């Protein structure tokens, strides 16, 4: 009998790629999630306002049979109710994410299935008692909190003026206390980057259980028209405006770098911490955008000289692959998934995390050298083509079959 697995997570985690990888091999028993558009809902979606219809279409995956999906509607309603009442989102997620883990454990016990769970949803399912011996697969999508706290704490000492940017871990405290121990109960651990894998090895994880499978990207169906590298130096930042993404380092470097007079830094951020917002306002030649549509973001990737995201801590950094797929070179750090993707010949440039002087020098060098390397944009797209979602799913399955026969 084919092994089947329970997946459980809130939201559209990684575009449903993990449960889709299982479904393609008939290995998915149940996907437990919050809100998912079932076939009977699609007819209603056509009558909904455009924004709601887009959300409903976004919350589904044709490759996953609808009868394999179970929605925790009561938990979803409670989550939105708490948001309306003003509870901190991280506090809400820390409390309610355990509902998905418990539901996964109950379903695995009922169906005698195995477990393939993301780190915030694993503890209760991994540690409960079963009448069978389920295989337990963990996807650690973010570095271990111990390493994150160390890195962000050091950066806080170096940059004490940012204020609320240093509010702590990206995880809620309730979730973190349980999540960071889930790896101890896993038979197999997947990480999207070598950096994340290293964070687990440093706290004692068995290196034989930890496998790196980089995320993927959907390539544009037609190769984008790649603009010439000449002209102004246009740098793009895409991400949240907080400490972890290194935006304060980029702004400090941008303010002190000697660049062509027509250089421009464009920030695409849904939210910006107040301390960093003050830096944005005082830094010249910077444009801040929010609410950018997917089509507009593609245009920005294609028209920018480089994407700069000097993250301090990143489980992977999906925007790097998105930029590379559009022929846009990228600048980041080794504390991301970039070292797993390629090198400078692939349009990937690295700086030491938190080193503003090195970032200044790199920006100045790229402003001078990129116009003379128009072929680099084609190399960037070629790099992304080696990391499609299909490749990601196939590698997950092959690693599972090798490790858990």
- Written as tens digits, the pLDDT of the chain (405 aa) is 579 999 999 999 999 999 999 999 999 999 999 989 877 666 665 656 666 556 667 788 999 999 999 999 999 999 989 989 988 887 888 889 999 999 999 999 999 999 999 999 999 999 999 999 999 999 999 999 999 999 999 998 888 877 554 344 444 444 456 668 899 999 999 999 999 999 999 999 999 999 999 999 999 886 666 555 556 899 999 999 989 999 999 999 999 999 999 999 999 999 898 889 999 999 999 999 998 999 999 999 999 999 999 999 999 999 999 999 999 999 999 999 999 999 999 999 999 999 999 999 999 999 999 988 889 999 999 999 999 999 999 999 999 999 998
- pLDDT number for residue 173: 47
Q: Read off the DSSP letter of residue 163.
A: G
Backbone phi, psi, residue 341, to 5°: -100, -40
According to DSSP, the β-strands at 188-191 and 136-140 are: parallel
Using CB atoms within 10 Å of the CB of residue 71, give its burial: 0 to 12 exposed, 13 to 18 middle, 19+ buried: middle
- Tell me the helices (H) and strands (E) count for the chain, helix number first: 16, 13
Structure tokens of 13? Answer: 């985690």
Q: Which residues pair with 236 in a beta bridge?
A: 266, 307
Sheet order of strands, 210-212 included = 69-71, 28-33, 5-8, 114-118, 136-140, 188-191, 210-212
SS3 state at 179: helix
> Could you tell me where the DSSP H helices lie in 232-374?
247-256, 274-282, 294-303, 318-325, 356-369
Task: Give this prediction's pTM.
Answer: 0.91
The sign of the torsion formed by the CA atoms of 106, 108, 109, 114 equals negative
Class in CATH terms, 234-384: alpha beta
**What CATH class is the domain 5-144+180-216+389-403?**
alpha beta
Contact (Cβ atoms closer than 8 angstroms) between residue 373 and residue 229: yes
Euclidean distance between CA atoms 339 and 40, whole angstroms: 44
CA distance 242 to 394: 34
Q: For residue 237, list its beta bridge partners.
A: 267
Q: Left if phi > 0, otherwise alpha if psi is -120 to 50, otherwise beta: which for 176? A: alpha
Cα end-to-end span (Å), the chain: 12
Q: Which two tokens stand for residue 131?
A: 């009448």
| Domains of the chain, residue spans | 5-144+180-216+389-403, 234-384
Q: Label each residue of 12-37 as H, E or C.
A: CHHHHHHHHHHHHCCCEEEEEECCCC
pLDDT at 159: 86
Percent composition of the chain: helix, strand, coil (DSSP 3-state, to 5):
50, 15, 35
By the 8 A CB rule, do 125 and 101 touch?
Answer: yes
Q: Which of 161, 134, 139 is nearest to 274 (CA)?
A: 161
**Token pair of 16, please?**
């449903």
- Which residues, at least 6 apart from 98, have a Cβ–Cβ distance to it below 8 Å? 121, 123, 124, 175, 178
- In angstroms, the CA 392 to CA 396 distance is 6
DSSP state, 37? -
pLDDT at 318: 97
* Domains 5-144+180-216+389-403 and 234-384 belong to one CATH topology: yes
- 232 HSE (CA, 13 A, CB side): 12
């Amino acid at each position: 009998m084919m092994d089947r697995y329970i997946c459980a997570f809130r939201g559209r985690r990684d575009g449903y790629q993990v449960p889709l990888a299982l479904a393609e091999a008939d290995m998915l028993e149940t996907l437990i999630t919050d809100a998912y558009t079932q076939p009977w809902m699609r007819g209603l979606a056509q009558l909904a306002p455009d924004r709601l219809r887009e959300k409903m279409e976004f919350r589904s995956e044709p490759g996953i049979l609808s009868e394999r999906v179970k929605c925790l509607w009561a938990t979803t309603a409670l989550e939105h109710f708490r948001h309306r009442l003003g509870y901190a989102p991280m506090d809400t997620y820390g409390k309610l994410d355990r509902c998905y883990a418990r539901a996964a454990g109950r379903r695995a016990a009922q169906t005698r299935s195995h477990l393939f769970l993301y780190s915030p949803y694993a503890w209760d399912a991994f540690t409960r008692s079963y009448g069978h011996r389920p295989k337990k697969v963990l996807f650690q999508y973010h570095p271990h909190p111990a390493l994150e706290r160390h890195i962000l704490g050091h950066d806080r000492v170096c940059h004490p003026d940012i204020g609320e940017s240093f509010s702590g871990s990206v995880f809620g405290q309730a979730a973190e206390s349980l999540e960071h121990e889930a790896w101890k109960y896993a038979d197999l651990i997947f990480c999207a980057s070598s950096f994340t894998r290293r964070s687990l090895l440093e706290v004692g994880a068995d290196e034989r259980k930890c496998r790196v499978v980089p995320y993927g990207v959907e390539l544009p169906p037609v190769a984008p028209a790649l603009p010439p590298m000449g002209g102004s130096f246009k740098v793009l930042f895409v991400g949240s405006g907080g400490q972890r993404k290194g935006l304060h380092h980029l702004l400090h470097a941008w303010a002190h770098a000697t660049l062509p007079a027509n250089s421009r830094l464009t920030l695409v951020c849904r939210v910006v911490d107040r301390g960093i917002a003050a830096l944005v306002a005082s830094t010249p030649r910077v444009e801040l955008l929010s609410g950018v549509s997917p089509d507009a973001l593609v245009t920005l990737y294609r028209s920018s000289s480089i994407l700069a995201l000097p993250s301090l801590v990143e489980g992977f950094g999906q925007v790097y692959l998105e930029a590379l797929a559009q022929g846009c070179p990228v600048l980041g750090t080794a504390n991301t998934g970039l070292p797993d993707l390629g090198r400078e010949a692939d349009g990937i440039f690295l700086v030491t995390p938190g080193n503003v002087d090195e970032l200044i020098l790199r920006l100045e060098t790229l402003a001078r050298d990129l116009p003379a390397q128009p072929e680099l944009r084609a190399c960037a797209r070629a790099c992304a083509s080696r990391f499609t979602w299909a490749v990601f799913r196939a590698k997950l399955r092959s690693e599972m079959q090798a490790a858990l026969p």
